[in-house]
Amino acid sequence: MILSSWNDSLHFCSWFGVTCNSGDTRVMSLSLDRQHLVGTLSPYIGNLTSLQGLGLIGNTFLGEIPQQLGNLLLLRHLNLSDNLFTGEIPLNLTRCVLLNFLLLKRNNLTGPIPPEIGTLNKLEYLQLGINNLTGELPPSLGNLSMLIEFHVAYNWLVGSIPESYGRISSLKMFVVGVNQLSGIVPESLYNLSSLNMMTLTVNQFKGDLPRDISHTLPNLQMFAISRNAFTGYIPASFCNASKLLSLNMNYNHFQGRVPDCLGNVPTLETLDAAANNLGSNSTGDFAFLKSLVNCSRFIPEGLGNLIQVAELDLTVNHFTGPIPSFLGKLANLQRVELSGNQLSGRIPSSIGNLTKLFEIDISFNELQGNLPSDIVRGQKLDLLDVSSNKLDGMVPPEIMQLATLSILLNLSRNSFTGHLPGGAWKLQSLTSLDLSHNNFTGEIPAVMGGCKSLVNLYLQSNSFTGKIPDALASLGGIEQMDLSHNSLTGRIPLPLQNIHGLKYLNLSFNDLGGEVPTGGVFSNTSTLSLAGANVMLCGGVSQLHLPKCRGTQRNNTKRSLKVKLLTIMVPSLFLSILVVGGIFFYYMSRRRSNKKKVFDDLALGKLVAVSYKDLHQATNGFSAANSIGSGGFGMVFKGVLEHTGTPVAIKVLRNGDNKVDKSLKAECKALKNVRHRNLVRLITFCSSLDYKGNNFNALVYQLMENGSLEKWLHHSDDDDHPNLSMIQRINIALDVATALHYLHELNGGGSIIHCDLKPSNVLLDADMVAHVSDFGVAKLLSSLSGSKTSSLGVRGTIGYAPPGNSMLITYHIEGDVYSYGILVLEMMSRKRPTDEMFGGGGGAGWLNLRDAVKSALPNDIYSVLDPKLYSPEDRDAAEAEDRDEIEEEEDGNHRNYCFVSVLEIGVACAEESARKRMKIDEVARKLLSVRDYFQANCINSGRARQQPSSVANPND
């Protein structure tokens, strides 16, 4: 124990974390950061009247911040960040008039920001972000003339920014993102020449930006105003912002042209102007791209790779004219997204020069002409979307030879003609293929059955002829298949009924005939469409109302006698079994006592309530020695149920909060009928009174001996807590993905949406097998609703909830996938999504964890990887190779390949657009492949000594 030195054998000035005044031995500083301390903060701390510094970062303190802290009149530094403090900010803190640092971020504080904080005229750093604060920004804070950093992001603040804040002449960081603030930003704030960071993202601010913004903010390094309602033009004066690193303005209402001179800003790393109304309906709309050719350092200088722009995202604007051919000169582009504009002309073949491209999305424009074969020259694309344009001609065979395509090939809603390319296709990794709404002719190529990873196949509204290839039944992972509105003939291949995962099949408006299968997708008329023109079909399930097939009547007559005999014999035999079984059950049940029956039911997994007395005994009176954690809903204790000897974890829910009842009901409803290896099993519950007559609610689970993933990831590097190996992290990611797939695809047809997936809700058993827990905000969706979206009265945890959920109260299964992606990236980086470096809280300039990782892929992953995962030799080997060599497994760089693969999965799951996120079953398949590869090439070679989760030693 860290506090083992706190005893009478040592003078208290020698205790760990204690610093005393050398003269009178009074305690001047108490620093106990990240020491796994649990419980409430004692009010007696107010007796340390000489205390100047108090640091308790990263513990698990609960309850309210003691008012007695106001007695510490000499206090200069107070840091209670990263705890679970609740209640309001104590008003008495304003008595500490010498305070320089007031840091309370990342807690559960509520209520308004006290206006009296404005009297602390020596305050330099005020951090109240990532709480649940409400109300308006107090104008009195404008009196803090020495303030350097103001951070209140991720709260529920409303109203406008007070004009008085423009008087804080020393202010360098102004961070108010992710609130509900509105109105026009005061002009005085734009005149704070000391500012180097202004973050206003995800609010409702409006109005125009000042034309001379770079002159009034000469030290500006980061300017982030995404997801607001700003209007007008992007000021050309940004071109003179000589220190600007990051400019994020997406999802506003800006119009006109992007200033041509932005490329003259030598320090610029990030430019994001997507989802505005940009464009002037002229051919010069893309002129600014020419200047970007001269931009350097689009990845921070510290990463050692001074390269040019890597991503170009101008989606949903009003750009017109052709795609400029000089786009091909931006040789380091990895992603081009120009969808949702009014671009015309031909696709320039110069795009083929961009050999590092992995994503092209130019959909929803007015592009014409052929699809150039040069577009795939780079051989690295995993997504190509040219849908909803006016393209024509035949599809180049080179498209079907692009083995790297894995996410999407979408050529739909164009005017492509001719037969699909023949020969061998190399799209074995592709998950979604959409060729619908074109003029394709000829037969569907049987080679399409070799696309083993396909999940979605859309060929509808073409002119395909011939039979449906039997080879399509080889698509074992297919979930949706639409072949409607063609001229297909012949029988429906019987093997299609054997595709267990097929959830939707549309064969309507063809010329099919013969007997309709009755198994698999053909057994459910709500997932099958055979309407229109298929007049020769017969048989099938009765709900299809098709005529019987010829030749079946005679067979039915022969079977009739057997059926009659069976209808007599089977009920008689069944009745006899019931009578004998009933007598036996009655006899056995009489031998059991009522008390024993409760725990027999418990052992059978039924949710039979236990008493407060039972849990009191199991936990030694809920003693501190039995406490194993805490959370927003209460404390967790370990114990042993007396009548079964079962080790359990008991979550005691906090009283006085209506969320408790909702949590109890939601968790019981979600877990009472689900059974899966990677879900924490809910054994029983208690809803009773304690010995003082107070309401008592608790949930009883199987005990997870190795605690939460949160503690394994974010323990202090100074303690002796073991670190997770790479194979353990892969196994945990695979376990969680498997659990989510089970929840989202229940056998009864419904889905359970977890809604709050994060490391603290992933628990590890004695064998390091991961179990998803805490379904207090889960939502059970019925298959009858026809929807995979849920309306909730709560939101997910900040940082893990998908974009938009912080402002709305809806959730869907793709939301769980987003949370999972963030969890995977956090596992690999040991960086929380709410880390100061994201969202405008730090100097790196990244808006979120996903952006940071994606920018590092594939060549700079060691800038974001947890250093505990690799050795200097691993990094040296990776730096000696480029991405091609990694994929070809040359020079034995196997670990680096696995690092990149897992990070790419996390990024694909955390896509901002829900429709672009990777499907969770595909995640599980890919992780299984990565694990097999790692075990074969890394563990056996001695580079990793950890074993899979089923046999791992948690102390390795």
- 894-909 helix and 872-879 helix, angle to the nearest 10 degrees: 80
Long-range Cβ contacts of 936-941 (<8 Å, 24+ apart): 937/889, 937/892, 937/894, 938/726, 938/727, 938/894, 938/895, 938/898, 939/727, 941/892, 941/894
Decide: 762 and 701 in contact? Cβ < 8 Å.
no
Least confident of 384-388, 532-536, 548-552, 902-906: 548-552
pLDDT digits (tens, 9 = 90+) for 241-253: 888 888 888 888 8
* pLDDT on residue 208: 94
| pLDDT class of 293 with cuts at 50, 70, 90 | very low
593 pLDDT more than 60:
no
**940/244 Cα distance (integer angstroms):** 48
192 pLDDT more than 90:
yes
* pLDDT on residue 313: 73
| pLDDT class of 454 with cuts at 50, 70, 90 | very high
Neighbours of 122 (CB within 10 A): 14
904: amino acid identity, one letter: E
Q: Which tokens go with 649?
A: 């974890």
- 726-744 helix and 813-829 helix, angle to the nearest 10 degrees: 170
* pLDDT on residue 584: 52
Residue 729, class by beta-carbon neighbours within 10 Å (0-12 exposed, 13-18 middle, 19+ buried)?
buried
599: amino acid identity, one letter: F
- Which residues, 6 or more positions from 737, have their beta carbon under 8 angstroms from its beta carbon? 820, 920, 923, 924, 927
**30/69 Cα distance (integer angstroms):** 13
**570/611 Cα distance (integer angstroms):** 45
Positions marked catalytic: 756
* pLDDT on residue 784: 32
* pLDDT on residue 465: 95
pLDDT digits (tens, 9 = 90+) for 412-437: 999 999 999 877 788 888 989 999 99
662 pLDDT more than 60:
no
Least confident of 86-95, 488-497, 678-687: 678-687
**792/778 Cα distance (integer angstroms):** 9
DSSP string, 622-644: T-GGGEEEEETTEEEEEEE-TTT
pLDDT digits (tens, 9 = 90+) for 235-280: 988 888 888 888 888 888 888 877 767 766 777 777 777 777 776 5
Residue 547, class by beta-carbon neighbours within 10 Å (0-12 exposed, 13-18 middle, 19+ buried)?
exposed
Q: What are phi and psi of 506, to 5 degrees?
A: -120, 110
Least confident of 482-486, 762-766, 772-776, 799-803: 772-776
Mean pLDDT value across residues 658-674: 59
Mean pLDDT value across residues 119-136: 95
* pLDDT on residue 887: 39
The percent of residues above 90 in pLDDT, for the chain, comes to 37
List the one residue out of 3, 13, 72 whose CA is nearest residue 43. Answer: 72
| pLDDT class of 522 with cuts at 50, 70, 90 | very high
Greater confidence (902 vs 787) lies with 902
DSSP 25: -
* pLDDT on residue 863: 86
Mean pLDDT value across residues 901-917: 90
306 pLDDT more than 70:
no
* pLDDT on residue 811: 55
**402/352 Cα distance (integer angstroms):** 13
Greater confidence (453 vs 688) lies with 453
**778/739 Cα distance (integer angstroms):** 14
CA distances from 420 to 398, 413, 430, 432 (A): 12, 16, 17, 17
Chain CA centroid to CA 529, Å: 34
Three state DSSP letters for 714-759:
CCCCCCCCCCCCHHHHHHHHHHHHHHHHHHHCCCCCCEEECCCCCH
* pLDDT on residue 668: 63
| pLDDT class of 809 with cuts at 50, 70, 90 | very low
Cis peptide before 858 (omega within 30 of 0): yes
- Owner of token pair 């039995």: 626
**934/727 Cα distance (integer angstroms):** 7
907 pLDDT more than 90:
yes
pLDDT digits (tens, 9 = 90+) for 709-728: 998 998 776 666 788 999 99
Long-range Cβ contacts of 475-480 (<8 Å, 24+ apart): 475/449, 475/451, 475/499, 476/452, 476/501, 477/452, 477/453, 477/501, 477/921, 477/922, 477/925, 478/454, 478/502, 479/455, 479/503, 479/504, 479/919, 480/455, 480/456, 480/504
Least confident of 340-344, 777-781, 940-944: 940-944
- Owner of token pair 């628990």: 763
348 pLDDT more than 80:
yes
Q: What is the mean pLDDT of the chain?
A: 80
Find which of 233-247, 602-616, 933-947 is predicted with most confidence, using mean pLDDT.
233-247
Beta bridge partners of 481: 457, 505
Residue 701 has, within 13 A of its CA and on its CB side, a CA count of 27
| pLDDT class of 525 with cuts at 50, 70, 90 | confident
| pLDDT class of 867 with cuts at 50, 70, 90 | confident
Q: How far apart are the first and last CA of the chain?
A: 21
- Which residues, 6 or more positions from 578, have their beta carbon under 8 angstroms from its beta carbon? none
pLDDT digits (tens, 9 = 90+) for 723-776: 899 999 999 999 999 889 888 876 555 678 888 899 988 999 888 999 998 765
Chain CA centroid to CA 20, Å: 46
944 pLDDT more than 60:
no
Q: What are phi and psi of 297, to 5 degrees?
A: 60, 45
Edge-to-edge strand order for the sheet containing 180-184?
Answer: 158-159, 180-184, 204-208, 229-231
Greater confidence (325 vs 829) lies with 829
Least confident of 257-261, 611-615, 644-648, 672-676: 672-676
Q: Which tokens go with 875?
A: 């990094």
Q: What are phi and psi of 667, to 5 degrees?
A: -70, -40
* pLDDT on residue 874: 61
598 pLDDT more than 50:
no
**393/399 Cα distance (integer angstroms):** 14
pLDDT digits (tens, 9 = 90+) for 63-111: 999 999 999 999 999 999 989 999 999 999 999 999 999 999 999 999 9
* pLDDT on residue 492: 94
* pLDDT on residue 815: 87
* pLDDT on residue 818: 93
805 pLDDT more than 60:
no
Q: State the Cα angle at 815 between 813 and 817, rounded to 5°.
A: 80
**132/155 Cα distance (integer angstroms):** 5
323 pLDDT more than 60:
yes
* pLDDT on residue 282: 53
| pLDDT class of 791 with cuts at 50, 70, 90 | very low
pLDDT digits (tens, 9 = 90+) for 818-836: 999 999 999 999 998 887 7
**910/850 Cα distance (integer angstroms):** 7
Alpha helices in 450-551 (DSSP H): none
* pLDDT on residue 705: 87
Report whether 651 belongs to an annotated binding site: yes
SS percent in the chain: helix, strand, coil, step 5: 30, 20, 50
**730/742 Cα distance (integer angstroms):** 18
| pLDDT class of 799 with cuts at 50, 70, 90 | confident
Alpha helices in 772-847 (DSSP H): 813-829
**359/339 Cα distance (integer angstroms):** 12
923 pLDDT more than 70:
yes
Q: Which tokens go with 186?
A: 């005061």
Q: Which tokens go with 29?
A: 């500083």
* pLDDT on residue 608: 57
Q: Which tokens go with 936?
A: 């074969």
**439/520 Cα distance (integer angstroms):** 31
CA distances from 665 to 687, 699, 776 (A): 11, 10, 8
786 pLDDT more than 80:
no
Neighbours of 880 (CB within 10 A): 10
55 pLDDT more than 70:
yes
291 pLDDT more than 70:
no
Q: Which tokens go with 192?
A: 């704070």
* pLDDT on residue 717: 65
- Which residues, 6 or more positions from 162, have their beta carbon under 8 angstroms from its beta carbon? 137, 138, 139, 141, 142, 186
* pLDDT on residue 892: 39
Q: Which tokens go with 386?
A: 């040219």
Mean pLDDT value across residues 359-388: 87
Find which of 23-37, 115-129, 885-899, 921-935 is predicted with most confidence, using mean pLDDT.
115-129
Neighbours of 920 (CB within 10 A): 24
